[in-house]
Amino acid sequence: MISTFEVMALAAPLKQVLNELEYTTPSPVQAQAIPFLLEGRDLLGCAQTGTGKTASFALPILNSIHNNPRALHPKRCRCLVLAPTRELAIQVGKSFSTYGQKIRFRQTLIYGGVGQTPQVSAMRPGVDVLVATPGRLLDLIEQRHVDLTAVEFLVLDEVDRMLDMGFLRDVKRILAILPQNKQSLFFSATLAPNIVELAKTFLRDPARVSITPEVTTAERIEQRLCFVDRGNKMYLLEQLLDEQAKAETSKLTIVFNRTKHGANKIAKALTAAGYESEAIHGNKSQAQREKALARFKQGLVPVLVATDVAARGVDVKDVGLVVNYDLPNEPEAYVHRIGRTGRAGANGMAVSFCAEDEIDFLRDIEKTIKNVIPRLSDHPWHSESLKQKYISGYKPPAVKQGGRSVQKGGRGNRRGGGFSNGNGSSRAHSA
């Protein structure tokens, strides 16, 4: 295992940047992937967000661009990075800019939600690195504003999320028009059968790198599960935010919801109740999402309500609490969600709400993480009947029932019970 960046076959300008950033020891994915990529191998990597995977592909690509300079051609790129969301595309672009600040290269970003004119103008003279989301990229290809015939490097980042979002057809269309002679890299948090099948089709004798099992990130975070009727979730959320405001840890909180409409509704209700919050989701414009994220990072808005798609690529190191207001219907998403807290060695807490129609989701999550999430029942809105239904193997109706659940004691005593944030105690129960 390579122990330092200094011994890697990277160009001097890249090593200089790494030294200035005080990056000396590569992460496991970097230590394993970079040597393969410097050799020109295709690669299939299993690594989550936060493991350093962006540097593991950006550094070798920038190294090749520096060592093998080529004249730019109109509308063409040497490297294409496909990302599932605008946020991740922006994050990847920033990483290339950071690592490549001492070498000569040109890059641009292409994604939806903003006008295409600046993107078309940026592509007109050609670029070395193009980071794009599939939908907008296909639009510009069809309009003949982008030409992929000169691509030397292809990176598919977060392939699992790309497929979950329904981009498989778009991705296959893009891959079909790329030249055969290129170096291809697939990165995914999971290696589900459909991802492995896609890799077999488009990768040539790939090296395989697998880092960080799904449960590793979760094990660093204090997790709690609350059985609560759906109509009482907002009251429980408010109690959690009250506790978080008094905690010694970071006051920043991310609340996850499955739907765009639900995220808007939660943010509006919280703000009306005196908890400053904003929602980010796919229906928000890029400018709105970037403004909300900036205000959140600055602490001006301490609560961010997000859908899974919008939160992918959001990297805020100072999040003290994650709340799963709705449990995700994909168990892998649970790990991605709670991984937004407890970053960079900080304390983090994740509290999940489980209503009747989410009992099956909870079973799938606990099967995936191979652990039972500790239960919290010492709060005014605990539903013992839901807990017993979970224990008994109850299967919720396939169709969600309308109406709100009956509240247990109205708003109750909001000071009753408590939630530990690593500084106090709480009563955790196993089901």
pLDDT of residue 424: 39
**Closest to 183 in 3D by CA, of 199, 214, 206, 162:** 206
pLDDT of residue 97: 96
pLDDT of residue 2: 73
Going along the chain from its start, the domains and CATH numbers come out as 5-212 (3.40.50.300), 215-429 (3.40.50.300)
pLDDT of residue 313: 55
pTM exceeding 0.85: no
Quote the CA–CA distance of 74 and 14 in Å, as a whole number: 27
Asked if 238 contacts 325 with a C-beta cutoff of 8 angstroms, the reply is no
Answer with the residue of higher pLDDT: 426 or 333.
333
Confidence class of residue 294 from pLDDT cuts 50, 70 and 90?
confident
Asked if 253 contacts 304 with a C-beta cutoff of 8 angstroms, the reply is yes
Alpha-carbon dihedral of residues 243, 248, 252, 254, nearest 10 degrees? -50
State the maximum Cα–Cα separation within the chain, in Å, rounded to a whole number.
71
| Secondary structure of residue 44 in the 3-state scheme | strand
**Closest to 377 in 3D by CA, of 391, 398, 365, 363:** 391
Helix axes 53-67, 12-20, angle to 10 degrees: 140
Confidence class of residue 70 from pLDDT cuts 50, 70 and 90?
very high
Give Cα separations from 376 to 219, 350, 373, 420, 428 (angstroms).
Answer: 18, 12, 10, 10, 5
Answer with the residue of higher pLDDT: 317 or 172.
172
Quote the CA–CA distance of 412 and 415 in Å, as a whole number: 9
pLDDT of residue 398: 57
What is the mean predicted confidence (pLDDT) over 160-184? 90
pLDDT of residue 73: 96
pLDDT of residue 217: 44
What is the mean predicted confidence (pLDDT) over 142-162? 94
**Closest to 108 in 3D by CA, of 305, 125, 99, 84:** 125
Q: By mean pLDDT, which of 96-105, 106-115, 209-218 is the weakest? A: 209-218
What is the mean predicted confidence (pLDDT) over 77-97? 93
Share of the chain above pLDDT 90, in %: 55
pLDDT of residue 428: 42
pLDDT of residue 105: 96
Q: By mean pLDDT, which of 150-159, 162-171, 272-281, 376-385 is the weakest? A: 162-171
pLDDT in tens, 218-240: 556 889 999 999 999 999 999 99
Q: Is the pLDDT of residue 15 over 90?
A: yes
List 109's β-bridge partners, or say none: 131
Element (H, E) at 57: helix 53-67
What is the mean predicted confidence (pLDDT) over 135-155? 96
**Closest to 313 in 3D by CA, of 35, 73, 90, 163:** 90
Please give, one letter per residue, the 3-state secondary structure of 82-144.
ECCCHHHHHHHHHHHHHHCCCCCCCEEEECCCCCCHHHHHHHCCCEEEEEECHHHHHHHHHCC
Cβ-based neighbour number of residue 200 at 10 Å: 10
What is the mean predicted confidence (pLDDT) over 59-63? 96
DSSP letter at 78? Answer: E
| Secondary structure of residue 428 in the 3-state scheme | strand
Asked if 278 contacts 265 with a C-beta cutoff of 8 angstroms, the reply is no
**Closest to 47 in 3D by CA, of 339, 366, 341, 372:** 339
Answer with the residue of higher pLDDT: 154 or 317.
154
Q: How many CA atoms are closer than 13 Å to the CA of 107, on its beta-carbon side?
A: 27
Quote the CA–CA distance of 369 and 335 in Å, as a whole number: 8
Cβ-based neighbour number of residue 149 at 10 Å: 10
Chain-centroid distance, C-alpha 428:
28
pLDDT in tens, 313-328: 566 777 889 999 999 8
pLDDT of residue 311: 61
Asked if 103 contacts 18 with a C-beta cutoff of 8 angstroms, the reply is no
For residue 55, what are the contacts with CB-CB under 8 A and spacing of at least 6? 23, 27, 30, 95, 99
